[in-house]
Structure 1
Amino acid sequence: MTDLASITVHLRDRIVSGLHRGRLHGGDRLPSFRQVAGYSGANPKLVADAYRALEGEGLVSIRGRSGVYVAEQERLGEGQVLSETGRWMASVIAEAWKRRIALPDLPEMVRRFTGSVPLRAAFVESTEDHMVAFCAEIEPALGLKCREVYIPPEGVREGSVEAARMRDQLIDADLVITTAFHSAFVHQLTEGMPAPLVAVSAHPDLGRAIHKRIQDGVLTVVCVDSRFADRIRLVYTGDHADRVRTVLVNDVWAVNRLDPSEPVLLTRAARRKLEDMELPIIVPHSPTLSFESVRELSEVIIRLNLERTDQTAISPVA
């Protein structure tokens, strides 16, 4: 993330996401040029250029030595819609015009591309924490129905009865989704199947929140499966794996001893089991998916909808 385009996209995504999820408001101070350069590895001058581009889009306000702030956002339609959303929709319409798509045709086109047929996804994972986190976002956000297919904790031997059983659970799926932890195995498992395979990744806000917490001290991970915490150590902590403390949600004694003022990494699966217990968290449960994963899933959804629509159109009438 060291070129102008990627820095601009990164900052835009963080600001837009923050505005729409209520984590950012007009007037909030944003990371400085040097702070962004520090965690991204980009030249501070490139970061400054990216912020200036976003200022031209009406997203930020650069106030000299005072810093960079979220620009005040006018609300449209009796306060229901942020002006940023209006600008985004205008750009969608303008891009459609370039492709000779008339505005009145857009809604039906979106429906045909994304909602012509119900799509069944099989999500393959071994930990409940990752399974619940991703499925809970994929289903409402992308309109997919996710079937949970668990890999046994001890793993699956290729060619075994268990592998055959898992393959049977995937055979009628329109697409198969997994994480990087299992993508190689699932690729072998789905070989020869028509369903496309997508390996999703986590939103970068998770990594940033973990790194910040570990720099400040100890990160407590409250989860269902200790292997989730092991993954956090493996992927995010580097030489500071000893700063990650695991608290399993079924360990009542450990849960009751949590400091209610200490922010924790709480998985969505663990929160469901805690029910009414409130804990401060280092990062919200949503967004879970990275932008790249949403983009890849969207492309697959569009392709599958168009293929199914074409098949329906040419199928003989009984």
Structure 2
Amino acid sequence: MTLYAALAADIAASIANGSLRSGDRLPSVRQLTASRHVSPATVFEAYYLLEARGLVRARPRSGYFVAQAPAHVAAEPRTLSNPDTAPRAVAITDLIYATLQATASRDVIPLGSAFPSPAASQDRAVHIHRRSSSPGSFPSSPSTRRCGRLVQGLHRRR
């Protein structure tokens, strides 16, 4: 065990046995350096290790403090499955059909759908129509674009 790990273990034991309670200030780096006869880097590494474990928190320009005690964690994680239901066979086609049916619902947003919204196609068509019917616009064939550039060039010379 490294020196900083041993120092961190000593501080963690003090927290565990109640010598250091939640919110208590830990000794400064200088104090621990002097009392334990270790380098400041060793103390910093011990504090970093305790901080990574969630036992202490650093406060800017204030030092290190014992972290709040974590809330009691449930022994078993919650699951979304219902353990009372028995397994049943499901055909892939049924799953696909159910997914496609769900996309028809207004409550479901089809993120990543292979079928874009019909409104997007309509918006694109309206935009293209407005562009093509506006004055000075030309259809997109190469020969008509060339003619359009010639006409625009003639208008600029005047």
TM-score range, shorter chain: 0.3 to 0.5
Q: Which has the larger radius of gyration?
A: 2
- With normalisation by structure 1, the TM-score equals 0.21
- With normalisation by structure 2, the TM-score equals 0.41
